Amino acid sequence: MNKKTIIAAALASFMSFAAHAQVANNPQWLDNAIFYQIYPSSYMDSDGNGIGDLPGIVSKLDYIKSLGITAIWLNPVFESGWFDGGYDVIDFYKIDPRFGTNTDMVKLIDEAHRRGIKVCLDLVAGHTSDKSPWFRDCSTGDRNSRYADYYIWTDSISPKEQQKIVVRHQAANPASSTYGRYVEANAPRGKYYEKNFFECQPALNYGFANPDPAHPWEQPVDAPGPQAVRRELKNIIAFWFDKGIDGFRVDMASSLIKNDKGKKAVSKLWNEMRAWKDKHYPHCVFISEWSNPEQAIPAGFNVDFMMQFGLKGYGSLFFSRDTPWGKRGYKPENEKEYRFCYFDRDGKGSPKEFAENYERAYNATKSLGYIALPTANHDFQRPNIGTRNTPEQLKVAMTFFLTMPGVPFIYYGDEIGMKYQMDLPNKEGSNNRAGTRTPMQWTKGETAGFSSCTPAQLYLPVDTENGRITVEAQLKDPASLLHYTRRLTALRHQQAALRGNGEWTLLNKDGQNYPLVYQCSNQGETIVVAINPARFKTKAVIPHTGTLHKLLETGKTAVKQANTGDELRLDGFSAVVYKVE
């Protein structure tokens, strides 16, 4: 071997080590994971009380498997006060009786694992219910209580914060308003406690990154109280990991430590958690509700979301300005805000805001973890809303979700195109999130096969459009969104270029908005995807790098050799996936 060959061989072996190391940072199973998010109250009711439960989910695992799903995430299932859809936890070590028992959870884990499906739960790390025994005990002011410093109490708050309490109490339903930081409790332990979201959700005391000397109640993160809370958190995680859980989605993961500018202290906390997890439970994952992958992933999370808040761009794709989540925060005079969302039938949007932010965050994090682009979740509207309401349009959106890098999350029911139901009444603190939490629609009929209860007893109403938006109807129709989704998940599992964290490149020329064209490359393979959510025909020319072999399409598409490259032609509401050969 000459010197040159030796160097080349050394380089190749280093490169393969580097490629391996990239995967080795995270459990291997994450690399081709497709998640399915289940809101447990709404998935399947096995006992006829109108509310979903764990045995109900178990009975649908074969269906979930048939979708190509490899992991599920369940919204909170621990004993709750049910003032915020389970995010007000009373007992982290106990399944809420409405869903079953801890034994039912172990059964669910076993049954899911038998089918090769991982199970992740929701960890509300930052707060409890005000009905939690920890909080009750703490409120008494007993200085011998082990929970004495589990929460943040003060006898004095600023006039500004006092005013916020007044304003909140003027709201139609003060208890389900999130305004302000403190709640007036007049408890022996203190006059006010700090809340995280609703009044009933007192913040757990992880301490303050920079305690203000003028605020003696602000404890440093290494004080005994905050350290005890940390140990409790670890204990909860270990308790469920020991039962076989494969990971946690962590609620409001960035907000545990207060006054933490730049999120340095909370990043340190999660880095320590990650090191501990990797040592004892290396196959398990942490998924953050942080929505800033560039912070969350270096902080130790395996997966972070790009969605309705935080990193900008998701809204500009999916939230039309006349739909509930699109109405927020838009000022026509602000040029930077999008006016029309990209996945709108009128085709007046731009992929710019999304693509720039995504690309930056993706390239900064892809060697460490994964970005998830969920189809929806329990906190924001589904893709089927407003004028985006036909299977053709929804197939185009699904093509996007299932061909982007990272870890896709399908929100239950989006695979059949369930609608966001407008104007539903508040249900267990949902406010306008009720429309996205309605029961899964299995069959035609008054309760859509979700429950044997009466329609009036249903957790929330169903709307199947005469049985069309049901699993039953779509299983029978080879052209349905459900079958198309299955083809997409199968494709994702087959194609290395659609998995893990390869290269993602936007192929749109500057100013060319439709179609959206991007390339995914991984392990020497390349896929080109073109997406046209608009009702009119579009075309784009991309550089010729090889023969484009069509793997899947929806609607009508074609490719033509042009002098300048390959011309992709897409009918209205169409999308296509090519392999470059």
Q: In the window 274-293, what residues touch ligand NOJ (CB under 6 A)?
A: 289
Neighbouring C-beta atoms of residue 269, cutoff 10 Å:
25
Q: How far apart are CA 499 and CA 504, in angstroms?
A: 11
Q: Does 87 bind ligand NOJ (CB under 6 A)?
A: yes
Stretch that binds ligand NOJ, among 79-87, 210-218, 405-413, 555-563 (CB under 6 A): 79-87
Task: Supply the DSSP string of 104-165, one letter for each residue.
Answer: HHHHHHHHHHHTT-EEEEEE--SB--TTSHHHHHHHTT-TT-TTTTSB-EES---HHHHHHH
User: Between residues 254 and 384, which has the closer beta carbon with respect to ligand NOJ?
Assistant: 254
Q: In the window 194-213, what residues touch ligand NOJ (CB under 6 A)?
A: 197
Tell me: cis bond preceding 515? Omega within 30 of 0 counts: yes
- Look up residue 474 and give its two tokens: 């779509």
Q: Does 130 bind ligand NOJ (CB under 6 A)?
A: no
User: Between residues 392 and 414, which has the closer beta carbon with respect to ligand NOJ?
Assistant: 414
Minimum Å distance from CB 251 to ligand NOJ? 5
Q: Where are the beta strands (DSSP E) in 364-479?
A: 370-372, 409-411
Q: Identify the CA nearest to 505 among candidates 493, 492, 521, 494.
A: 521
Stretch that binds ligand NOJ, among 83-91, 128-136, 348-356, 495-503 (CB under 6 A): 83-91
Minimum Å distance from CB 198 to ligand NOJ? 7
Q: Does 314 bind ligand NOJ (CB under 6 A)?
A: no
Contact between residue 257 and residue 269 where contact means Cβ atoms under 8 Å apart:
yes
Which residue number has the CB closest to ligand NOJ? Answer: 87
Q: How far apart are CA 5 and CA 19, in angstroms?
A: 21
Q: Where are the alpha helices (DSSP H) in 455-536?
A: 471-476, 481-494
Q: Which of 379, 392, 428, 566 binds ligand NOJ (CB under 6 A)?
A: 379
Q: Identify the CA nearest to 517 among candidates 542, 549, 544.
A: 542
- Look up residue 248 and give its two tokens: 């946690």
Stretch that binds ligand NOJ, among 81-89, 156-164, 240-248, 420-428 (CB under 6 A): 81-89
Stretch that binds ligand NOJ, among 29-37, 84-92, 325-333, 557-565 (CB under 6 A): 84-92
Minimum Å distance from CB 76 to ligand NOJ? 8
Minimum Å distance from CB 430 to ligand NOJ? 9
User: Between residues 345 and 378, which has the closer beta carbon with respect to ligand NOJ?
Assistant: 378
Q: How far apart are CA 328 and CA 426, in angstroms?
A: 19
Q: Which of 45, 53, 194, 251 binds ligand NOJ (CB under 6 A)?
A: 251
User: Between residues 149 and 379, which has the closer beta carbon with respect to ligand NOJ?
Assistant: 379
Q: Does 428 bind ligand NOJ (CB under 6 A)?
A: no
SS (H, E, C) 357-375: HHHHHHHHHCCCCEEECEC
Stretch that binds ligand NOJ, among 82-90, 343-351, 467-475, 566-574 (CB under 6 A): 82-90
Say how many residues touch ligand NOJ, by CB under 6 A.
10
Binding mask 211-250 for ligand NOJ (x = CB under 6 A): ----------------------------------------
User: Between residues 316 and 436, which has the closer beta carbon with respect to ligand NOJ?
Assistant: 436
Angle at which helices 224-242 and 264-280 cross, to 10°:
40
Give, in order, the Cα–Cα distances in Å from 550 to each of 411, 572, 581.
28, 18, 10
Amino acid residing at 559: V
Q: Which residue has the tokens 């006060």?
A: 81
Task: Supply the DSSP string of 161-177, one letter for each residue.
Answer: HHHHHHHHHHSSSGGG-
Q: How far apart are CA 127 and CA 22, in angstroms?
A: 34
CA 159 to chain centre: 37
User: Between residues 124 and 576, which has the closer beta carbon with respect to ligand NOJ?
Assistant: 124
Minimum Å distance from CB 129 to ligand NOJ? 10
Neighbouring C-beta atoms of residue 493, cutoff 10 Å:
13
Q: Which of 165, 252, 306, 311 binds ligand NOJ (CB under 6 A)?
A: 252
User: Between residues 379 and 553, which has the closer beta carbon with respect to ligand NOJ?
Assistant: 379
Q: Which of 124, 200, 233, 418 binds ligand NOJ (CB under 6 A)?
A: 124
Minimum Å distance from CB 397 to ligand NOJ? 22
Q: Does 84 bind ligand NOJ (CB under 6 A)?
A: yes
Applying CB under 6 A, the residues found at the interface with ligand NOJ are 84-85, 87, 124, 197, 251-252, 289, 378-379
